Amino acid sequence: MSLSELGWDKQWQSAFKPYRAKGWVPARLIRESPINYGAMIAEDEEIDAILCGKLWHDAACDADLPAVGDWVAVDLGGENRPHVIRALLPRRTCFLRKMPGNSSQAQVIGANIDCVAVVTDAGTDFNLRRMERYFMLISRSKAKALVLVNKSDLYPLEQSQQAAAEISALWADAKVHVTSATRGEGLKVLKKFLRKGETLCIVGSSGVGKSTLVNQLYGDDWQWTGEVNETTGRGRHTTTSRELVLLDQGGMLIDNPGMREIQMWTDEETLRGSFADIAALATNCKYANCNHRMDDGCAIRAAVEAGELERGRYENFLNLENEIAALKKRAEKRQMAVERWAKRNSVKARNLADRIQLERDERGDIS
C-alpha cells in the first residue's frame, strides 16, 4: 500500500513540506480512542500515536483536535518512546455535527472525506425533516452527498422508490439510491464514490444498516452486526467508535456509531447495569477499593477461578472499566489544559469550560 491509496497527493505533499524537514512522517488517522489514535503510515503500517501537548493546548474546542480522516505529522518513536502527533494538516472537508443536547460544541464525524452517505429506509427511519438537517450539515462540509434508502427487501419496491423520490426533491445535489445491504443489491453505485484514495463517510440512525453495508463492501465480516454479541450478551452489536477502513478494491469507508450508541460506552452506570452479576460479586471482595485484578481476596477473581464466572465476560468488564477510566483521565487533562488556557483568555475559556461541563452532565459520566 502507498500513501496515495489513503488519498495522499501533491497538494498534501506541499502542505507537509515544513514537517518533512523536521523528520516527521505523514499519517492518516483511522481510529480515535480516549487515550490515543490509530494511524496509517506508508508501507501499510498501522501505528498507535498520542497527541503532543501543544496541539492539546492550542485547540480551542474539540473540533480543533485531530479526528478520524485527518492527515497529521507524526514524530515516530522508538522502543520506549511513543509515536507522537505533532501537527494537523488543514482539512479540505470536514463533516461536523452539533454535540447532542444543549451544547453548542461541534463534533467531527469525518475529516477529509469526499462524500457523506446517509443511510435510511422507507419505513420506520424515514424522516424528511431529519434528512434536511443532514443535508445542511453535508453542504457545510464541502463533501458530496449520497443517500441510501436501505432495507429495500423489507418494503414494496414502490415504497422505497417513493421515499427516494421525496428525498431527491429536497436537494438536487444529493444522489439518492435504493439498496438492500443484506442482499447486496444496489451497492454498485457506491463504486463511483470509492475510487482509489477516496473516502466515504457513512452516517445515519442506529440499526439502519451502516455496518452491514461496510461489511458487504469490505468482503468478509469486518465488524459484528445484528446477531447477539457473545461477549457482552447484548441483543445486537452496535458500532461504538468511528473507524476508517481501507477496501481491497480501492477507496475508504468511515463507519460511524448511530446516534443512540455514542453515549453508551462512556457511562459507568451502564457498565455496572449490564454487568450486574459482577457488581454483586464485588460487594464480597475483601477490600472496598479492590481493583479486581491482583488484589487479595477478590471475590470476582475467585468466581472466575471456580468456574462460576466466564473469563471472557470478566476480561471484558475490566477492559470497559479501563476505557471509562481513560476517558475520565482525558477529561481531567482537558480540564487542565482549559484552565491553563483560561489564564490567557479568560472569557472564551470560561465559556468552553462551561460547555465541557455541560457535555459531561449530558452524558451523565465522569467527575
Ligand X SMILES: Nc1nc2c(ncn2[C@@H]2O[C@H](COP(=O)(O)OP(=O)(O)OP(=O)(O)O)[C@@H](O)[C@H]2O)c(=O)[nH]1
Residue 151 interface partner, choices ligand X, Zn ion, Mg ion, none, CB cut-off 5-8 Å depending on type: ligand X
Q: Is 238 in the site for ligand X (CB under 6 A)?
A: yes
Q: Which is nearer to Mg ion, 151 or 210 (CB)?
A: 210
Residue nearest to ligand X (CB): 258
Please identify which residue in the block is written with the cell numbers 508501507: 43
Contact 27, 39 (CB under 8 A): yes
Cα–Cα distance for residue pair 55/151, rounded to 1 Å? 42
Q: Which of 56, 57, 84 is nearest to 72 (CA)?
A: 84
Residue 14, C-alpha cell as written in the block: 506541499
Q: Which of 36, 93, 160, 182 binds ligand X (CB under 6 A)?
A: 182
Compute the least distance from the CB of residue 226 to Mg ion, in Å: 10
Q: Which of 180, 211, 216, 316 binds Mg ion (CB under 5 A)?
A: 211
Stretch that binds Mg ion, among 134-142, 158-166, 171-179, 204-212 (CB under 5 A): 204-212
Q: Which is nearer to Mg ion, 83 or 151 (CB)?
A: 151
Residue 290 interface partner, choices Zn ion, ligand X, Mg ion, none, CB cut-off 5-8 Å depending on type: Zn ion
Q: Is 209 in the site for ligand X (CB under 6 A)?
A: yes
**Binding residues for ligand X restricted to 255-314, rule: CB under 6 A:** 257-258, 261
Q: Is 290 in the site for Zn ion (CB under 5 A)?
A: yes
Stretch that binds Mg ion, among 96-104, 114-122, 157-165, 232-240 (CB under 5 A): 232-240
Q: Which is nearer to ligand X, 251 or 258 (CB)?
A: 258
Compute the least distance from the CB of residue 265 to ligand X, in Å: 12
Stated length of the chain: 367
Cα–Cα distance for residue pair 56/54, rounded to 1 Å? 5
Q: Is 153 in the site for ligand X (CB under 6 A)?
A: yes
Half-sphere exposure of 80 (CA within 13 A, CB side): 0
Residue 286, C-alpha cell as written in the block: 475483601
Contact 259, 100 (CB under 8 A): yes
Compute the least distance from the CB of residue 227 to ligand X, in Å: 7
Residue 110 interface partner, choices Zn ion, Mg ion, ligand X, none, CB cut-off 5-8 Å depending on type: none
Compute the least distance from the CB of residue 255 to Mg ion, in Å: 6
Compute the least distance from the CB of residue 242 to Mg ion, in Å: 11
**Binding residues for ligand X restricted to 239-258, rule: CB under 6 A:** 239, 257-258
Q: Is 298 in the site for Zn ion (CB under 5 A)?
A: yes
Compute the least distance from the CB of residue 89 to ligand X, in Å: 29
Interacting residues with ligand X (CB under 6 A): 150-151, 153-154, 180-182, 204, 206-212, 225-226, 238-239, 257-258, 261
Site residues (CB under 5 A) for Zn ion?
Answer: 285, 290, 292, 298, 300
Residues forming contacts to Mg ion in the complex (CB under 5 A) are 210-211, 239
